């Protein structure tokens, strides 16, 4: 399957668009479970939580050529949070940038699909994982493509934990100083980080006020609702002269109640017997979402 995504549907809020993106998100979640089950543990919650955003970006908004990853005019997805790689592998496989079967090598010795993602994998624009480095590099890319007069846009995914790193705010300042309206920062607010809930570890709220104070165009939305993400993107694209921040409230483990309800945790271990239930629950919650959508 060769797919080249050259942009978005005209009426992007039309029901068929939303329906097809929901189907993509479903598929991404299936891929996430497939990978996680093989290693029995990991960043499953993050992969499930971010699937809706990745579906919208990779199958609606971003312009890229799966057969030509170095196309200079491509939109760039910058994964600052390397441990979310499981989510991006799912999207890259679905976008035919990675062979689907390769997902079975996730985390294995010698595999390109590392637990903490890097440029070892095709489709990764930076080496993420040393958290707080994504936004500075995204600012550099946004400046770079603008200097070259390219239409490319930069979509950077950060986490709520990364809002505690000083470098994120240094970059935020630079982005608004240079009026980088080709830069989009998505902040995954799942209220979790390594030592527990973000609000307990080091509170970061009110998040949207901070970005606004730094000169960004800001929206805060339900990051697990595809229609909301689409609508917010529309608004962001219409706003010029400022970089765009989209604060996403997401649910770790979204789509699998077993993981949604579990003491939410940065890194989970799952018993071998639980995977079948997880898969079943995902299919059930997919049906549920279909009904409601």
Ligand X SMILES: Cc1ncc(C[n+]2csc(CCOP(=O)(O)OP(=O)(O)O)c2C)c(N)n1
Distance CA 34, CA 36 (A): 6
Binding region for Mg ion (CB under 5 A) out of 14-22, 168-176, 192-200, 237-245 = 192-200
String marking each residue 254-273 x if it binds ligand X according to CB under 6 A:
------------x-------
Distance CA 146, CA 151 (A): 7
CB 293 within 8 A of CB 228: no
Contacting residue, 47, 107, 243, 255, with another protein by CB under 8 A: 107
DSSP 8-state assignment for residue 14: S
What residue 109 binds from Mg ion, ligand X, another protein, none (CB within 5 to 8 A, per partner kind)? another protein
Which residue number, 61 or 114, has a Cβ lying nearer to another protein?
A: 114
CB 135 within 8 A of CB 172: yes
String marking each residue 80-119 x if it binds ligand X according to CB under 6 A:
-x-x------------------------------------
Beta bridge partners of 42: 268
CA 6, distance to chain mean position in Å, is 19
The nearest distance, CB 198 to Mg ion, in angstroms, is: 6
CA distances from 188 to 62, 72, 161, 164, 237 (A): 19, 27, 9, 13, 20
Binding region for another protein (CB under 8 A) out of 21-29, 38-46, 251-259, 275-283 = 38-46
Does residue 120 bind another protein (CB under 8 A)? yes
Distance CA 137, CA 122 (A): 18
Q: Which residues bind Mg ion (CB under 5 A)?
A: 159-161, 190, 192-193
Q: Which residues bind ligand X (CB under 6 A)?
A: 46, 81, 83, 129-132, 159-162, 190, 192-194, 266
């Amino acid at each position: 399957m060769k797919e080249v995504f050259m942009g978005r549907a005209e009426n992007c809020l039309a029901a068929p668009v939303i329906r097809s993106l929901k189907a993509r998100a479903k598929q991404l979640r299936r891929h996430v479970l497939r990978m996680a089950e093989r290693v029995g543990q990991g960043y499953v919650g993050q992969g499930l939580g971010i699937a809706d955003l990745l579906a919208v970006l990779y199958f609606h908004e971003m312009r890229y050529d799966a057969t030509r990853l170095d196309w200079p005019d491509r939109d760039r997805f910058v994964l600052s949070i390397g441990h979310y790689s499981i989510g991006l592998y799912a999207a890259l496989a679905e976008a035919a940038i990675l062979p689907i079967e390769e997902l079975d090598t996730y985390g294995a010795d010698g595999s390109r699909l590392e637990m903490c993602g890097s440029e070892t994998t095709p489709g990764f624009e930076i080496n993420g994982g040393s958290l707080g480095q994504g936004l500075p590099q995204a600012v550099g890319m946004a400046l770079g493509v603008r200097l070259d007069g390219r239409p490319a846009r930069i979509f950077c995914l950060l986490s709520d934990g990364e809002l505690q790193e000083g470098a994120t705010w240094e970059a935020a300042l630079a982005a608004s100083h240079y009026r980088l309206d080709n830069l989009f920062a998505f902040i995954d607010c799942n209220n979790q980080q390594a030592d527990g809930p973000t609000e307990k570890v080091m509170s970061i709220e009110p998040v949207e006020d901070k970005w606004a104070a730094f000169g960004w165009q800001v929206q805060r939305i339900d990051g697990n609702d595809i229609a909301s993400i689409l609508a917010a993107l529309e608004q962001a694209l219409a706003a010029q002269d400022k970089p765009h921040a989209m604060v996403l409230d997401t649910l770790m483990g979204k789509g699998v109640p077993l993981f949604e309800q579990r003491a939410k945790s940065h890194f989970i271990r799952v018993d071998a017997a639980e995977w079948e239930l997880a898969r079943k629950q995902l299919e059930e919650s997919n049906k549920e979402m279909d009904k409601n959508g």
